Each structure stands twice: as C-alpha cells, then as structure tokens.
Amino acid sequence: MEGKGRDTMERLQKAIAASGYTSRRKAEDLITAGRVEVNGEVVSELGFKVKQGDLITIDGKALVGENKVYHVFYKPKGCICTLSDELGRKTVVDYFEDVKERVYPVGRLDYDTTGLLLMSNDGDFANLMMHPSSHLEKVYEVTVTGLVTGETLHKLEKGIYLDGVKTIPCKIRVVGKDVEHKTTMLIIKLVEGKNRQVKKMFEAMGHNVKRLHRSQIGFVDLRGMKPGEHRILKPQEVKDLKSMALDKKERYIKQKKKR
C-alpha cells in the first residue's frame, strides 16, 4: 500500500482500517490469522508498526487505500448508528449502498433521533469532529413534556451537573408551547456532544424528550434534503469544517493552560 499521508509510524491494524478495507477489529483478526504481509513478510503481531511506502498485502493482494469521502446524511427515525445490527434493525450504512467507499458514522444519533449525521471513511477527520475540544456548535430542535419555565431554561443555559460533570453553557430558545397537551418546543445550541446529552439535560429538569432532531453542525445544515438522503460535502466545506474545529481546539488548549 502506498500509504498516502502516512509520514509517521502507525499500527498495522490502523493502517488497514484507514484504507477502508475493513474495521480495525476485523483487521486484527486478519493479522492474528497470519493473512497479512508487510513487504513480503507475514506479520501476526498486533503491535507491529508500518510507515509510508511499506507494501501491505492481505491474502496476497496489495492493499489499496480508498479515496477519502465525506457525506452529510439526513438520518431518519428508526435506524441505528452502527455498521451492522445483530437484531436485524436498519443501520445508517444501509442508506449508502450506492457509495462504493466503506463509510461509517462520525458520532451518533439515537435510534429515535432524526437529523444531520456526518459519514466518512477518514478516521482523522472523524476524530477531529468528535473530539470534545473541537467544540463545533450543534443545533437541535426539541419537543419535551411539560411547560418549561424561564428558571429551568436559565439553569440549563448556565450548565447543570450530569454524571458529576457540569455541562458547558449553551443557548436555548422556546419556539412554541402547547398548553392543552402540556408540551414545549425549543431550539438548543450546544458545543458538546456527549452520549444522549440533550435528553439527559431535560430529563434532569423533569422534562422527557418526545422528539429530537439535529438540524445543524457548524455551518452545515440539511436544507433541501429529505430523511434518508445524503449528499457529498464539497471540498471547501470539508476544509472549512477542519479549520473551524482545529481553531476551536487550539483555543481550548490555550485556555486550559491558563487555568
């Protein structure tokens, strides 16, 4: 494999996964089974490292890296953010059968949550987008049970403790209230993306989430798209997303050093 972009040493299983050939876990199985060679020598050691220019072959065939691709996906309700499901439920990758590259979700949305999900085969991009310090703003449309008070909004915006850790301040706006059915519709903008965070925040204040939809990540939105559809991110969009995330990451590190 002419390891494009591999200027430093990296573990063999990571290099195989980065090529899009298979997942890292399955790559480990291939290595331990003795099916992988590096520069003509069988490698069965998981800690083995490769560098740019090393020839990696699997079952005698040279590993060729995939083109890096980036998609915006409008996740519909009733599918899960995994590559496969033992219960036979529909997964997000089922909507990408027309894409030759093996893409995977960047982050996740719950089974019953709809909205914007990034999909890619670029591990570095995925890690950057998902890293807590990247602080990319995410916008959610939320419908909760009960009539949310101004006091509750103020507490949520300032940050509350979830699992012993205080949430980063966010912005919340009420867009509608249904007094008859006792529900509140809101838009929340936050820079964190912890597992089930929006649901946990409202549940902690006594409001269960009835509907949750992510409409935006950074400057990327779902305009003109329908549930189940995906589109390719333009090269400039990918570049701008990376630049935005790196900038926020650098600011986060500088602020942390000052503390």
Cα 248 to the center of its chain, rounded Å? 17
Q: What would the pLDDT profile of 155-197 be if each residue is shown by its tens digit?
A: 999 999 998 999 999 999 999 999 999 999 999 999 987 888 9
Residues 120, 126: contact at Cβ < 8 Å? yes
The confidence score (pLDDT) of residue 4 equals 41
So which residues are the catalytic ones?
110
The confidence score (pLDDT) of residue 8 equals 67
The confidence score (pLDDT) of residue 3 equals 40
Whole-number Å distance between alpha carbons of 146 and 165: 25
Whole-number Å distance between alpha carbons of 194 and 165: 11
What CATH number does domain 10-62 carry, 3.10.290.10, 3.40.1160.10, 3.40.50.10490, 1.10.540.10?
3.10.290.10
Class of 137-217 per CATH? alpha beta
The confidence score (pLDDT) of residue 259 equals 64
The confidence score (pLDDT) of residue 156 equals 97
Asked if domains 70-132+221-234+241-255 and 137-217 share a fold, the reply is yes
Nearest to 80 by CA among 92, 72, 88, 71: 92
Q: State whether CATH 3.30.420.40 applies to domain 70-132+221-234+241-255.
A: no
Residues 130, 178: contact at Cβ < 8 Å? no
Tokens of 239: 């570049």
Residues 207, 145: contact at Cβ < 8 Å? yes
Q: What would the pLDDT profile of 220-230 be if each residue is shown by its tens digit?
A: 999 999 999 99
Distances (CA, A) of 207 to 146, 159, 171, 174, 249: 6, 16, 17, 14, 32
Domain boundaries, the chain: 10-62, 70-132+221-234+241-255, 137-217
Q: Which residues of the chain have pLDDT under 50?
A: 1-7
The pTM for the full model equals 0.77
The confidence score (pLDDT) of residue 162 equals 93
